[in-house]
Structure 1
Amino acid sequence: MLDSLVRVSRRAADNHYAIILAEARTSPEPRRITRGYNTPPRGSHIPQVLSGGPRR
């Protein structure tokens, strides 16, 4: 746990988080969420428990 705290503090000291935010704001084109991303392909077998079927 101490190791992860040291890594986080080093990232903050190097302004790592600001660099990530700057890259996200200057991305060349907006990302799109396609419809059906989480739907299984036709003909695949996924148990109803995992497929998000009707809940009780």
Structure 2
Amino acid sequence: MSYGGKQTDLTAIKAVTDLLPDAGALSDLATIQAAVDTEIAALQATGDAIEVDVAA
């Protein structure tokens, strides 16, 4: 019984998963995204309140 194929599969899987961020990095990204979403909502609210004369 040969395990060469399985080792090749494991090596390929490891090559892909090693490129993925770890759980801590994903948590950091989620925190940053939440902060950015809050800022974007505030900017949109402010921008919506600005009257713009498009014809000018």
- TM band (smaller chain): 0.3 to 0.5
Normalising by structure 1, what TM-score? Answer: 0.33
Normalising by structure 2, what TM-score? Answer: 0.33
Structure number with higher relative contact order (C-alpha < 8 Å, ≥ 6 residues apart): 1
Say which structure is richer in helix: 2
Whichever of the two has the greater Rg, that structure is 2
